[in-house]
Amino acid sequence: DVKVTQSSRYLVKRTGEKVFLECVQDMDHENMFWYRQDPGLGLRLIYFSYDVKMKEKGDIPEGYSVSREKKERFSLILESASTNQTSMYLCASSLLRGVGETQYFGPGTRLLVL
């Protein structure tokens, strides 16, 4: 079974703090993704990565950055947390293949910024 793990289930931070969210997958997947999920808005893609040291912006990258130094690990960084970044953050990974690609999600990190 594919396993995607996230470093924390719940996190409370203060406005202005730098926040690191870690995601690790154990299936040697090339693609990794960071989404945020908010009520009524569904999942929105923040950043994704096709390979080590590669990153691509998603729909809502502002206020976030990412790091992928190793294939299995994809980090989301909030440089200066703000209250509007309070959300559920979901990491996903997928195997690079031509058709029928399936994304597997981690359990999520619920972040509260005070």
Residues that bind another protein (CB under 8 A): 4, 30-31, 33, 35, 37, 40, 42-43, 45, 48, 50, 56, 58, 90-92, 94, 96-108, 110
Residue 94: CB minimum distance to another protein, A:
7
Whole-angstrom Cα distance, residue 34 to residue 75?
9
> In this complex, which beta carbon is closest to another protein, that of residue 19 or of residue 55?
55
Joined tokens for residue 58: 């998603």
Joined tokens for residue 91: 């990491």
Joined tokens for residue 19: 């926040």
Residue 6: CB minimum distance to another protein, A:
8
Whole-angstrom Cα distance, residue 57 to residue 40?
22
> In this complex, which beta carbon is closest to another protein, that of residue 32 or of residue 81?
32
